[in-house]
Amino acid sequence: MNYNTLAELLFPDVTKTPDYYENLYPKRILDEGAKVTRFAPSPTGFVHFGGLFPVLVGERLAHQSNGVFYLRIEDTDSKREVEGAEYDLIKVFENFGINFDESIVNNGKYAPYRQSERREIYRTYAKELVKQGKAYPCFCSEEDMLRLREKQEALKITPGYYGEFVKCRNLDIEEIKEKISDGIPYVLRFRSDGNPDNKIKFTDLVKGTIEVTENHIDHVLLKSDGMPTYHLAHAVDDHLMRTTHVVRGEEWLSSLPYHIQLFSALGFKLPKYLHISQLMRKDGDAKKKLSKRDKGAGMSYYISEGYPAESVIEYVMTLLNSNFEDWRRANPNADIKDFPFSIKKMSASGSLFDLIKLGDVSKNVISRMTAENVYNKLTEWAKEFDRDFYDVISRDPDFTKAILQIGRGGNKPRKDLETWKDAKPYMGFFYPEYFKYEDKPEGFDKKDIADCLDHFVREFDINDEQDVWFSKVKQVGEEHGFCPNIKDYKADPEGWKGNVGDVSSFIRAAITGKLNSPDLCAVMKILGKEESFNRIKKFKETL
Ligand code: GLU
């Protein structure tokens, strides 16, 4: 068979050669050791949280080495594609502080970055494979393939187009011409020369050295619509876009033997691979894949719940690098980008998804922020997701910032907020719109509560600092039969009506409407004397 004739017959539309693209997309000029990575999603309209793992790994590897991190939209499967989804995806990642150096919106030298616009490129390389006798047209219909699969399943053997099951591998040119002129649809298949008895060693940078079986299946390179399968597109794109490190989900590991063969057939250097394990969640004692319907599976969840982007990224980093948490403890205020991310510290077995752990991480992240920063992020979130709250907290920014300042700074900052959604229940009582008497101290004589509060009002001075404030509370309580010292109280509970903690709870319930609140002295300073006294007065009426 003259393969050149076959190539011209199959690809009369293709006039360029691989050399043309090799010149158009030359090697990148980068620093020694700079890595080129990419995120290559199929835009289905749903941005899975698990996607953040390869994204963050790719982003860190590239940017830490002065390399390039780019986005490639893999939309060759028109059945899965959702209109506009790629722009939403870019926005979502931007929201989490992840920016692509090259993408469909800020095209770089290796454009186009959308696979559906690279059809001619794939076809050029496919034609080249035909010319070299490494690919051939296959006219087997979908029903033929279905029957083949059923037969192989019944025989319990590897499914696929190979060995004795191959029908179209050796058609002669006349037969091919005839089928084409009869309008029979066809796919282009790879002519594999692999042998399933051969094992090859391969080193994945995350999984380590593994042994895989050589590919012997004649996989599809081009579908009947002339568009490439993932495999051909991956090889051509990652080669021409000069990717050095392919970071992708481990579901692709099984296709690796084919990819190794394909890169070699195309004369391409194989990039380095990092296969990232699926994100799992606990399901009783078992582990399950985090599926689309699970809470927290979509990235939009984190945005609407009000997790700061920093918290989510920090959480993912704790899962990606085993030494991250130690680093964070030693460098509480350092920029996360200063963390020396390392492939060696990645676990080959993957991560367990845990919203509780994310919550803890997030509390720490928020507790380290300045009040100004919290204010900006909180109002930005509320503007979109809780408009009423936004109107209330942005009415007097200084007032809100003073509230957010409580317990901030110092070695042990308060950790009240996990998400921005937590802000309203935490600090709503400061604002008349949300203030209500929710909880009251139980088991005390109403008169005792009222007497303590009246006495406290007489002693109170807005300029008192916390220690003076508290000593006044002790003194007031003692005069009304409440022990100023918890230890003494415990030694003789019958001798007292209660203790200083109870007196504080009377004031707290009066001022905040609750039995838990941030530092009361600070709260009263922010509310002011008049409002504080007013609340105490109204509270007594509710007793
Ligand atoms: N489009 C493929 C996917 O979404 C990309 C895999 C890769 O990164 O190569 O799974």
DSSP string, 382-405: HHHH-HHHHHHHHHSHHHHHHHHH
Q: How far is the CA of 239 from the centre of ligand 1 (A)?
A: 15
The reply to whether ligand 1 has any atom less than 6 angstroms from the CB of 40 is yes
Query: Are the C-beta atoms of residues 317 and 339 closer than 8 Å to each other?
Result: yes
pLDDT for 99: 94
pLDDT for 80: 66
The reply to whether ligand 1 has any atom less than 6 angstroms from the CB of 135 is no
pLDDT for 36: 98
Q: What's the CA gap between 466 and 22, in Å, rounded?
A: 72
The reply to whether ligand 1 has any atom less than 6 angstroms from the CB of 234 is yes
Q: How far is the CA of 225 from the centre of ligand 1 (A)?
A: 20
Q: Diameter of the chain by CA atoms?
A: 110
Q: Helix, strand, or coil here: 38?
A: strand
Strands 280-283 and 352-353 turn out to be: parallel
Q: Helix, strand, or coil here: 26?
A: coil
Nearest atom in ligand 1 to 248's CA:
8
Q: What's the CA gap between 524 and 535, in Å, rounded?
A: 11
Query: Are the C-beta atoms of residues 449 and 506 closer than 8 Å to each other?
Result: yes
Query: Are the C-beta atoms of residues 188 and 137 closer than 8 Å to each other?
Result: yes
Residue nearest to atom 5 of ligand 1 (CA): 40
Nearest atom in ligand 1 to 54's CA:
8
The reply to whether ligand 1 has any atom less than 6 angstroms from the CB of 74 is yes
| DSSP output for 40-102 | -----S--BGGGHHHHHHHHHHHHHTT-EEEE-B----TTT--TTHHHHHHHHHHHTT---SB
Q: Calculate the CA 393 to chain-centre distance.
A: 29
pTM exceeds 0.95: no
Q: What's the CA gap between 69 and 56, in Å, rounded?
A: 10
How far are the Cα atoms of 49, 52, 445 from residue 57, in angstroms, in the given order? Answer: 14, 8, 62
pLDDT for 9: 97
Q: How far is the CA of 43 from the centre of ligand 1 (A)?
A: 10
Would you state the torsion angle of the CA atoms of residues 312, 313, 314, 316, taken in this order, to the nearest 10 degrees?
Answer: 90
Nearest atom in ligand 1 to 39's CA:
8
The reply to whether ligand 1 has any atom less than 6 angstroms from the CB of 513 is no
**Distance linking the first and last C-alpha atoms of the chain:** 99
Pocket mutation for ligand 1, best pick of 46, 81, 248, 258 (most atoms within 8 Å of C-beta): 248
The phi and psi torsions of 221 (rounded to 5 degrees) equal -95, -45
Q: How far is the CA of 345 from the centre of ligand 1 (A)?
A: 23
Nearest atom in ligand 1 to 251's CA:
10
Pocket mutation for ligand 1, best pick of 234, 243, 244, 255 (most atoms within 8 Å of C-beta): 234
- Residue 210, exposed/middle/buried by CB under 10 A (0-12, 13-18, 19+)? middle
543 residues of the chain, pLDDT tens digit each: 899 999 999 999 999 999 999 999 999 999 999 999 999 999 888 899 999 999 999 999 999 999 999 999 999 987 766 778 899 999 999 999 999 999 999 888 999 999 999 999 999 999 999 999 999 999 999 999 999 999 999 999 999 999 999 999 999 999 999 999 999 999 999 999 999 999 999 999 999 999 999 999 999 999 999 999 999 999 999 999 999 999 999 999 999 999 999 999 999 999 999 999 988 998 888 999 998 999 999 999 999 999 999 999 999 999 999 999 999 999 999 999 999 999 999 998 888 999 999 999 999 999 999 999 999 999 999 999 999 999 999 999 999 999 999 999 888 999 999 999 999 999 999 999 999 999 999 999 999 999 999 999 999 999 999 999 999 999 999 999 999 999 999 999 999 999 999 999 999 999 999 999 999 999 999 999 999 999 999 999 999
The reply to whether ligand 1 has any atom less than 6 angstroms from the CB of 41 is yes
- Residue labelled with tokens 């409440």: 482
Q: How far is the CA of 41 from the centre of ligand 1 (A)?
A: 5
Instruction: Show the tokens assigned to 390.
Output: 């936004």
CA angle 189, 192, 194 (to 5 degrees): 160
Q: How far is the CA of 248 from the centre of ligand 1 (A)?
A: 6
